[in-house]
Amino acid sequence: MTVPIVATAIGFVSALTFDSVLAQAGTLSVTVGHAITTFLGLLLVVVGFSPFTRGLKAILKLFRLAAGPREAIGNLLAYGFLLVGAFVYLHWMGIDLTSLTVFASVVGLGIGLGLQKLVNNVFSGLLLLLERPVQVGHFVELEGVKGVVERISVRFTVLRTLDNQRILIPNSELTEKRLVNHDYGDRRCRLRLPVLVAPEVKPARVSEALLAAARQEPDVLRTPRPEIFLEEIAARHLKFVLSVWVADGEQLYRTSSNLNFLITEALDQFQIARPAQEMHVTLRRSPAAAPESLEYLSDLLHRLDVFSGCGQVQLSRLIELGTTREWPEGATILLRGEPGTSMYLILRGSVEVLSADESMALATLEHGQFFGEMALLLGTPRTATIRAKEACELFVIHEEDLQDLLKRWPGFEERISQALKRRESELRQLGQMPELPENRSLVQQFREHLRAWLAPA
């Protein structure tokens, strides 16, 4: 049964030529040639339109056109070519273009009804690209959503939010709605932080504390200068507003958090009382606080020589970036002679520092003590093998996070150097001073290592 069908099909196909007519409608006849060319043409448009548009934009770039006009002209040219191509195709097919006036009015009606939104978006996109009220890289805010413009295409704009989500916004919304562009001429941004204090506090003292906090945050600009406003005098509180300028609006969220930490510290330091109702909610350290809680970890880190001078902001950042890991009893945590890129704070359990031949324990370190700092700070191989004496939980501080801290707070380098000086005299007494190139001291070696760390890649 199937054999005659296949044979007939083969016979039919082999009888076809390029000019064989497949269908006839009035004066219009569709040949094999038309069908093949139509198929190949559509394929070419689907596959090639995007690269073709990109190619046109690359050519326009050679003419040193700015990004906005380049996008707009590139897109217009590409769609123009597409339209001309469509007309040439229709003419070649033998379709009378005057008969398309009827079709055009139908399309016009379609646009009036369903395609109106699409056309609106496309024209808005072209306007955005030509007028450039927003550009790629601008930090903008649309109806409460903040983000950086990543791409402006003909139909929509891609916004990267502060949470690193991508939002596709139809272009018409950008031209019709109220858009805040933090980068329109100036990337700086004002930040206003309200602060409530007890009514009996002297306002001058609060100003002093808030300005001291603002001075400590590196992202706050010196000019325009930070300002303090006393916004409200109420029975139970005074409301101050710290107003500062931030260099980069995109960092607003982090800078505002850093400042809030610094303000809290400054208020404590200047012994400024908070309003009575706030005092009831002051957090107290619970004895059962989870070991990994922020307060618990910053307490432990604060007790260490190296970190004792760090403020709450610096420590919180370190804790935020570090990780907590567990090791079973007997596990080797560090191996003598290996390179080291992290240091460890013991949260639970204990570890042993082993002698060079690993036959005996030189020291046992427990909860609240740390190890692994030598290789990390000096860039030397690990000086000893460390083994878990019992199952333990360690807080791991990574090299890049310490580098980040050193870059942001230059005072930290001095703090580490002081701690290393003390450590060196201890090591010399124990006869355990590691051999360093050119007989350098620990501090010299640390500064040498730091130079390599902080050098631009």
Applying CB under 6 A, the residues found at the interface with ligand CMP are: 334, 340, 353, 362-363, 371-376, 382-384, 386, 432
Q: Are 132 and 178 in contact (CB under 8 A)?
A: no
Instruction: State the Cα–Cα distance between residues 444 and 290, nearest whole angstrom.
Output: 39
Tell the smallest beta-carbon distance from residue 301 to ligand CMP (Å).
Answer: 15
Which DSSP string do the residues of 19-77 spell out, in sequence order? T-EEEEETTEEEEHHHHHHHHHHHHHHHHHHHHHHHHHHHHHHHTT--HHHHHHHHHHH
Please say whether the beta carbons of 190 and 244 come within 8 A.
yes
Which CB atom, from 384 or from 450, has the smaller least distance to ligand CMP?
Answer: 384
Selection from 366, 389, 373, 365 nearest residue 423 by Cα? 373
Helix (H) or strand (E) segment spanning residue 199: none
Nearer to ligand CMP, 109 or 331 (CB): 331
Q: Is the Cβ of residue 28 or residue 356 nearer to ligand CMP in the bound state? A: 356
Q: Which residues contact 381 (CB under 8 A, 6 or more apart)?
A: 336, 337, 338, 339, 340, 375
CB of residue 320 to ligand CMP, shortest distance in Å: 23
Nearer to ligand CMP, 107 or 363 (CB): 363
Where does 132-271 have alpha helices with state H? 171-176, 203-216, 252-269
| Nearest approach, Cβ of residue 376 and ligand CMP (Å) | 6
| C-beta closer to ligand CMP: residue 226 or 379 | 379
Shortest Cβ 369–ligand CMP spacing (Å): 8
Q: Give the closest residue to 431 by CA, choosing from 328, 356, 340, 330.
A: 356
Q: How far is the CB of 427 from ligand CMP (least distance, A)?
A: 8
The least CB distance from residue 386 to ligand CMP, in Å, is: 6
Shortest CB 55 distance to ligand CMP, Å: 55
Nearer to ligand CMP, 251 or 418 (CB): 418
Q: Is 227 helix (H, G, I), strand (E, B) or coil?
A: strand
Name the token pair of 6. Answer: 């296949």
Rounded CA separation 382/434 (Å): 10
- Report how far apart the first and last C-alpha atoms of the chain are (Å, whole number): 74
